[in-house]
A and B are shown apart, each in its own frame.
Chain A
Amino acid sequence: MSQKPIELILARNLLSSLTTPAFLVDDHGALVFYNDAAATLVGRRFEERGQMAASDWTEQFGPADPEGRPVSWEDLPLTKALFAGRAIHSKMHLKVLDGTVHEIEVSALPIFATGGTRGAMAIFWPVEDGPQAGGPK
């Protein structure tokens, strides 16, 4: 596997330290990391799953819109942020391994650097759970 760009390495270092659930994708949209807080949403630590192609993680995590309709990979905030090159904020739902559905808010940011787009990161706020541990009370 080739060396990750330094911007993704630094983003992973940051996200791994956060108690807010967060995803990181590379410039192709492959899921290259999610943190332990996100693991509580999706039911398994990233280290147990490893990197996932865009189609795989979209299917497994079952993102849906507020009406419960599946959200295609192209319409996910993370994907839009990556390919539109701008910040995106929206609400959606995640279906996790135990079959439960979580309503979440998502903020997604593209990661630009000299040489082009490196990837994008998304931070999640589970709506039903209120403020995150370690976050504002």
Chain B
Amino acid sequence: MKVKIWGARGSVPSPGPETVRYGGNTSCVQVTLDDGTLLILDAGTGIRGMGIALAAEAARVHIIVTHLHLDHIQGLMFFAPAFRSESEITIWGPASPEASLRDRIARYISAPLSPVEVRELPCEVAFRDCPETEWEIGTAHLRAASVTHRGPTLGYRITADDCSLAYIPDHEPAIGASLENDEPDWISGFDLARGASLLVHDCQYTDAEYADHVGWGHSGLSDTLTFARRTEVERLLLFHHDPMHSDDFLDTFYGSALEGWAERGGDPVALELATERREIELSAATDPLGSR
């Protein structure tokens, strides 16, 4: 299983010289399985560059969105395969009693926000509510579960090729809970992350910033590290960087993260900050340094 980061920024795109190293595009992660199955996790602005890079023959793709906040769907309209008639795109997302997934996404891909309507897309596009039970795409087994964030939001666990990826980019498991002491079944997202080869997890704030953002649906550094250690993941990728955090700030932040990780008994090679275009290859016995 290959994982490639196309956007790791949270909330709003933040391009510019201050963010050029970690990147300013919002959430998008490409997962390519050994059998060639292509999964795209979230459709933030990072999906634009990915669409350009994808070979034209990659006609069948699955886009799996965690929720419909703009930073997770904004790139959909700029995803090149959506404008090719031979493409078959399936968009998976959280169900809602309020409206279908198609209608909720169409609020963005419609006037006055968009010059294009969903029905005008030349590709074949289908919208599917994520099942409550595990389902399969290619050789991947997928599991979705609601997690603590604002509005209907899913986290995912993808198991394939003898390894597992947990993707919970927008998550505040610590709100009203004790991550150190609560039983696992009472911690949001615990089962998704448990023992994963790689956990990609929200880490938008420093601890000091989090104190001013409790209830906004995102995690502070200490909570993310504690969650990862409690769930015993093999590797942790800190994700959903705050748009106010420059590259220099994130470098310092990473230093703090390594200290906190070590205090919790974590191996430093198993922790990193998500960076645009970073590729990680997971295998059954994941080499913590296995990357390109």
Q: Which of A9-17, A76-84, A93-101, A122-130 contacts B (4 or more CB under 8 A)?
A: A9-17
B176 touches A14 (CB 8 A): yes
A9 touches B145 (CB 8 A): no
A3-B191, A4-B185, A114-B152 known; A17+B147 contact, CB < 8 A: no
Chain B 128-167: CB-based contact to A (< 8 A → 1; otherwise 0): 0000100000000000011110001000000000000000
Residues of B within 8 A of A66 (CB): none
A1-B183, A114-B95, A114-B96 known; A16+B191 contact, CB < 8 A: no
Residue in A1, A7, A14, A17 whose Cβ sees the most chain B Cβ within 10 Å: A1
How many residues belonging to B are interface residues under a CB distance threshold of 8 Å?
A: 21
B148 touches A6 (CB 8 A): yes
Residue in B145, B175, B186 whose Cβ sees the most chain A Cβ within 10 Å: B186
Chain A 1-36: CB-based contact to B (< 8 A → 1; otherwise 0): 111111101101110110000000000000000000
B191 touches A2 (CB 8 A): yes
B185 touches A3 (CB 8 A): yes
CB closest chain-B residue, reference A11: B176
B148 touches A10 (CB 8 A): yes
Other-chain contact of B186, A7, A9, A14, A115 (Cβ < 8 Å) = A9
- CA of A7 to CA of B177, assembled, Å: 14
Residues of B within 8 A of A16 (CB): 176
Smallest beta-carbon distance A47→chain B, Å: 9
A1 touches B176 (CB 8 A): no
CB closest chain-A residue, reference B94: A114
B185 touches A6 (CB 8 A): no
Other-chain contact of B185, A1, A7, A14 (Cβ < 8 Å) = A1
B176 touches A115 (CB 8 A): no
- CA of A4 to CA of B147, assembled, Å: 11
Residues of A within 8 A of B176 (CB): 10, 12-14, 16-17
Interface size class of A (residues with CB under 8 A): 10 to 19
In this assembly, does B108 line the interface, its C-beta being within 8 Å of a C-beta of chain A? no
- CA of A7 to CA of B132, assembled, Å: 14
A9 touches B95 (CB 8 A): no
CB closest chain-A residue, reference B129: A114
In this assembly, does B92 line the interface, its C-beta being within 8 Å of a C-beta of chain A? no
Chain A 97-110: CB-based contact to B (< 8 A → 1; otherwise 0): 00000000000000
Residues of A within 8 A of B96 (CB): 114
- CA of A9 to CA of B183, assembled, Å: 11
Other-chain contact of B146, A5, A12, A14, A17 (Cβ < 8 Å) = A5
Q: Given A6-B188, A9-B188, A114-B94, 19 more contacts at CB 8 Å?
A: A1-B183, A1-B184, A2-B185, A3-B184, A3-B185, A5-B146, A6-B145, A6-B146, A7-B146, A9-B148, A12-B176, A12-B186, A13-B176, A13-B177, A16-B176, A114-B96, A114-B97, A114-B152, A115-B132
